[in-house]
């Protein structure tokens, strides 16, 4: 294999996503030929790479792809230093997988897990602009002018959001149920958008990523993606 940046190299082996590799480099957890790795350094199969003292074998894992209906109070990460349950703990597989993107601790719904670093980068890249649809139940009956604000873009602390697709499902007894589809990946974005119009979230669940949906998966259940679904994600 020709030389490539270490984050891309380790992602191609299914070790971790590029972002996670960069974080490990910052922590000083990666050594190359006995020296601490630096951001952007290039490596090849000839190099000896250790992560937290464990040598990385150069075989390429079989690529696996899962869709999970994440329960509440489960972390969207590969592991947790405080011993809390993560989405990876819910998948029974021998490959070293990681989640694509994140869902808040108190948000449930669709999340993709894989050991395919290239697909990870394709989906989370800002240029991808893939719509993610959320079901939300909020306090208060949202008026149409506030729905229009969400659709046009709303001013948050980190700038104006891109226009969202919004559909109100029902308004009753001081609550509103709606679907909100966004194409950005800001932290807690849907919650903050709804807070901004004074309708705090009661329940938030991600229903779709692009055309990929939860289907009949119950909370905590998962399944492998079909070849058709994998090809679809690569086409985005």
Q: Which residues are catalytic?
A: 104
d(CA 146, CA 165): 13
| DSSP annotation of 90 | G
Rg (CA), the chain: 20
113 contact partners, CB below 8 Å, separation of at least 6: 65, 66, 67, 68, 87, 88, 91, 97, 98, 99, 100, 222
196: left (phi over 0), alpha (psi -120 to 50) or beta: alpha
Asked whether 194 and 156 are in contact (CB, 8 A), the reply is no
Measure the CA–CA gap between 105 and 156, rounded to whole angstroms.
Answer: 21
Distance CA 56, CA 78 (A): 17
Distances 51 to 25, 56, 74, 140, 225 between C-alpha atoms, Å: 9, 7, 25, 50, 29
């Amino acid at each position: 294999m020709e030389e490539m940046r270490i984050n891309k190299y380790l992602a191609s082996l299914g070790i971790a996503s590029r972002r996670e590799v960069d974080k490990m480099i910052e922590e000083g957890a990666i050594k190359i030929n006995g020296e601490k790795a630096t951001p952007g350094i290039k490596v090849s199969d000839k190099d000896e790479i250790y992560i937290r003292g464990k040598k990385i074998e150069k075989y390429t894992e079989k690529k696996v792809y899962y869709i999970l209906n994440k329960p509440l109070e489960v972390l969207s990460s590969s592991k947790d230093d405080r011993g809390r349950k993560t989405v990876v703990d819910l998948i029974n597989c021998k490959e070293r997988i990681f989640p694509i993107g994140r869902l808040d601790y108190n948000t449930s719904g669709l999340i993709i897990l894989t050991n395919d670093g290239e697909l990870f980068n394709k989906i989370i890249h800002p240029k991808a602009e893939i719509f993610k649809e959320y079901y939300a139940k909020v306090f208060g009956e949202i008026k149409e002018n506030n729905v229009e604000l969400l659709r046009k873009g709303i001013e948050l602390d980190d700038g104006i959001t891109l226009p969202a697709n919004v559909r109100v499902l029902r308004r009753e007894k001081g609550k509103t149920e709606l679907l909100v589809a966004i194409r950005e990946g800001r932290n807690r974005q849907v919650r903050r958008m709804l807070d901004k119009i004074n309708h705090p979230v009661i329940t938030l669940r991600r229903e779709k990523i692009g055309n990929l949906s939860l289907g009949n998966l119950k909370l905590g259940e998962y399944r492998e993606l079909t070849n058709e679904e994998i090809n679809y994600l690569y086409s985005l």
